[in-house]
Amino acid sequence: MTPGKLSTYLKNGAIWGFILLELIFFTVAGQFLSLSENAFMDAGNMLLLFKQSAPIGIIAMGMTIVMVNGNIDLSVGATYALSAVVLLDAMTWPVFGGLGDWVIPVACLLAVLTGTVLGAINGLIVWKTGVDAFIVTLGAMLGYRGLVFMYNGEQPTSHLNWTLVDFAEAQFLGLHTATWVLLLVTAAIWFLMNKTVHGRNAHAIGDNREAAVNAGIRVGPHMMINFMIIGALAALSAVVFYAETGSVNPNDGELYELWVITAVVLGGTKLSGGAGSIISTFGGVLAIQLLRKGLAHIGADTSTVNLVIGLILIAVLLLDRQLNVKGKEALKI
């Protein structure tokens, strides 16, 4: 009935179709090429895939709302690393010496707080100066990374807390802790974007900032809240990952911003803002992780993986463009 419905349907479903294609391809190709005994679609392998998707995925949820709002955040990788340093180092601070295992929630909270504050700084600068978020967070990316290096020089920051490791490795209903965090964050951000006033206004600002201003919406606070959300999520992502590994190198999280943006864009969120879906971002995250894992499964090395993901990203965007053009033509008639 509605013109362009088929193309809309195709567009929204495209990422899941793509995931299906990947699964089929890697299962079949795995039969001939894989050195591993296990099938690609092995249950354990898939559970691991979800868990490995978590660090990028959690940040991607925040990136979706920031991008729908019409901004972008390039500083997430550095925020991630700095929050990880705070998490691991805080557990060794003498002030918390008497807390026993209660140091864990305190350290986690401090890490998330660090991320939130870093995000708030980004948001405040974008709001008050009106400088483009791309530039502001590009500066923040370099600056926050500088802080990471100032903290411990070139040395890794390490601290293993075995209670925390146990928690991170726990499985509830078959899913790992990290997977649960990813699912909960996805659900929470979905609610935020689709059911709350903040989500509605953020959407309107990204789609047509002038109309939003003319409707009396205060643009700045909404943008700042979104930067705080993505900062907090970058930190949460660090908590989830470093709870298990217990050691952060000052270079960790580099290029995360690009992986995150790739996943979000694969999920159909527009770089120009105003359109995007949390569920599709989730699909985008899975698609990338599947690709990395699948290519590894059939014996490709990292450089091949990057090349293929790059090509696929461009191909997907081309396809999206074609579908968009088609949709518009249908509307005219």
Partner 1 sequence: MTTQTPVLQLEGIVKTFPGVRALDGVSLAILPGEVHALMGENGAGKSTLMKVLGGIHQPDEGRIIVGKEPVAMSGPLDAKAKGIVFIHQELSLAEELSVAENIYLGELPEKRFGLVDWNELYARTNRILEKLKVGFDARTRVGDLSIANQQMVEIARALTVDAKAVIFDEPTASLTDAEKVVLFDVIADLQSHGVGIIYISHRMEEIFRITDRISVLRDGEYRGTLVTAETDEEEVTQLMIGRSLDLSRNAVHHELGEVALEVRNLSCHGLFEDVSFAVRSGEVLGFYGLVGAGRTEIAETLFGLREPSAGTIHLNGEKVRIHSPADAIARGISLVPEDRKAQGLVLGMNCRDNMTLPQVDDLKAGPFVAEGSEIAIFDQYRDKLDIRTPGWKQAVGNLSGGNQQKIVIGKWLAMRPSVLIVDEPTRGIDVGSKSEIHNLIRDLAAHGYAVIVISSEMPEVLHVSDRIVAMYSGRVMQTFTSEEVTEDSLIQAISGLTPGQAHQTDTTQLSEGKDIQ
- Residue 204 binds partner 1, judged by CB under 8 A: yes
Q: CB-wise, 207 or 320, nearer to partner 1?
A: 207
Q: CB-wise, 159 or 270, nearer to partner 1?
A: 270
Q: How far is the CB of 299 from partner 1 (least distance, A)?
A: 44
Q: Among 21, 170, 258, 331, which residue interacts with partner 1 (rule: CB under 8 A)?
A: 331
Q: How far is the CB of 214 from partner 1 (least distance, A)?
A: 6
Q: How far is the CB of 173 from partner 1 (least distance, A)?
A: 28
- Residue 200 binds partner 1, judged by CB under 8 A: yes
- Residue 207 binds partner 1, judged by CB under 8 A: yes
Q: How far is the CB of 287 from partner 1 (least distance, A)?
A: 24
**Cα 18 to Cα 141: distance, rounded to the nearest angstrom:** 32
- Residue 214 binds partner 1, judged by CB under 8 A: yes
Q: Which residues in 197-215 are b (16+ Cβ under 10 Å) and which e? A: ebbebbbbbbbebeebeee
**8-state DSSP, 63:** H
Region 56-75 residues binding partner 1, contact defined as CB under 8 A: none
**Cα 43 to Cα 288: distance, rounded to the nearest angstrom:** 18
Q: How far is the CB of 127 from partner 1 (least distance, A)?
A: 14
**Cα 195 to Cα 124: distance, rounded to the nearest angstrom:** 25
Q: How far is the CB of 182 from partner 1 (least distance, A)?
A: 22
Region 256-275 residues binding partner 1, contact defined as CB under 8 A: 274-275
248 Ramachandran zone, left/alpha/beta (phi>0; psi -120 to 50): beta
- Residue 210 binds partner 1, judged by CB under 8 A: yes
Q: How far is the CB of 68 from partner 1 (least distance, A)?
A: 10
- Residue 223 binds partner 1, judged by CB under 8 A: no
**Cα 243 to Cα 238: distance, rounded to the nearest angstrom:** 8
Residue 49's contacts (CB-CB under 8 Å, 6 or more residues apart) are: 286, 289, 290, 293
Task: Give the sign of the dihedral formed by CA 103, CA 104, CA 106, CA 110.
Answer: positive
**8-state DSSP, 267:** T
With beta carbons less than 8 A apart as the criterion, state whether 125 and 182 touch.
no
Q: CB-wise, 55 or 199, nearer to partner 1?
A: 199
**Cα 317 to Cα 328: distance, rounded to the nearest angstrom:** 16
Q: Which of 157, 153, 159, 114 is nearest to 248 (CA)?
A: 157
Q: Among 38, 129, 196, 302, which residue interacts with partner 1 (rule: CB under 8 A)?
A: 196
Q: Among 201, 226, 237, 289, which residue interacts with partner 1 (rule: CB under 8 A)?
A: 201
In this chain, which stretch among 73-81, 113-121, 206-214, 278-286 interacts with partner 1, using CB under 8 A? 206-214
- Residue 5 binds partner 1, judged by CB under 8 A: no
Strands 247-248 and 171-172: unpaired
- Residue 212 binds partner 1, judged by CB under 8 A: yes
CA triple 149-154-155, angle to 5 deg: 110
- Residue 187 binds partner 1, judged by CB under 8 A: no
Task: State the residues that interact with partner 1 by CB under 8 A.
Answer: 2-3, 195-198, 200-201, 203-204, 207-208, 210-218, 274-275, 331
